[in-house]
Each structure stands twice: as structure tokens, then as C-alpha cells.
């Protein structure tokens, strides 16, 4: 079974631009979560989608948004980029998103904001 895939793997943007990242979950997985990883703040939860609905949201500004499609693929968007948005963005999928479920992570998208 193919793992979680994320595209693109690397991205360079300038301040003020917007960016869209894509995530394809493991086949059969209906829950997709997004995390931001930075050296200073570590791994932080952004949001979780299940059956095209945002079910849980972390403490990030409204510039960060996401969506999920009927095939469970998900995208996240960051508008008006700031230097501090430079990070590794990780997507994870699980079967149902239950608290005992294992979340399987993709390789991440490395975003650099100049």
C-alpha cells in the first residue's frame, strides 16, 4: 500500500504571497491532519479533516486554512506569508481519526519564506 504523499517537497516563496500544499492519504484512510514543525516551536497541530469536514483545529491564525475532498485528499493554504511561516509542514492520515488510531506521516513539504 502506498504511503502518505505530499507535494511539493520543497517550496520557496516571498513574504505576502500565498501557498497551497497537497496531501494524499493512505488508501482507505478518511482522516487527514496537518502539523507544522519548526526548530523553535517543535511540532504543532494545525487542523484535522474527516469526511470533508474540519473536525479539530489548533491555535493558528486564520491565514492558515485547509480543505478535504471527497477522495480524502487534502490541501492546506497559507495566505499572506510571513517569515515565521518557514517550516516543515507534515500531513498525517489515519483510518478514522480515533484517539487510539495510528497517524501515518508523509515526508513533509519544506516551505521557505524569503
Partner 1 sequence: GNSVTQMEGPVTLSEEAFLTINCTYTATGYPSLFWYVQYPGEGLQLLLKATKADDKGSNKGFEATYRKETTSFHLEKGSVQVSDSAVYFCALTEANQAGTALIFGKGTTLSVSS
Binding residues vs partner 1 (CB under 8 A): 4, 31, 33, 35, 42-45, 48, 50, 55-56, 58, 90, 92, 94, 97-108
Bridge partner list, 45: 35
Q: Which CB atom, from 18 or from 41, has the smaller least distance to partner 1?
A: 41
Q: Which CB atom, from 80 or from 112, has the smaller least distance to partner 1?
A: 112
Q: Which CB atom, from 24 or from 31, has the smaller least distance to partner 1?
A: 31
HSE (side-chain half, CA atoms, 13 Å) at 56: 14
For the chain, the distance separating the N- and C-terminal CA atoms, rounded to the nearest angstrom, is 37
- Nearest-angstrom CA–CA distance, 91 and 81: 19
Q: Name the minimum Å distance from CB 16 to partner 1.
A: 28
Amino acid at each position: 500500500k502506498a504511503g502518505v504523499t505530499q507535494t511539493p517537497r520543497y517550496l520557496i516563496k516571498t513574504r505576502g504571497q500565498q501557498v497551497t500544499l497537497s496531501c494524499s492519504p493512505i488508501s482507505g484512510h478518511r482522516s487527514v491532519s496537518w502539523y507544522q514543525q519548526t526548530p523553535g516551536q517543535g511540532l504543532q497541530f494545525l487542523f484535522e479533516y474527516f469526511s470533508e469536514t474540519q473536525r479539530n483545529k489548533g491555535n493558528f491564525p486564520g491565514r492558515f486554512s485547509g480543505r478535504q475532498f471527497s477522495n480524502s485528499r487534502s490541501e492546506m493554504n497559507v495566505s499572506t506569508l510571513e517569515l515565521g511561516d518557514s517550516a516543515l509542514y507534515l500531513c498525517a492520515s489515519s483510518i478514522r481519526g480515533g484517539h487510539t488510531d495510528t497517524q501515518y506521516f508523509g515526508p513533509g513539504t519544506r516551505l521557505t519564506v524569503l
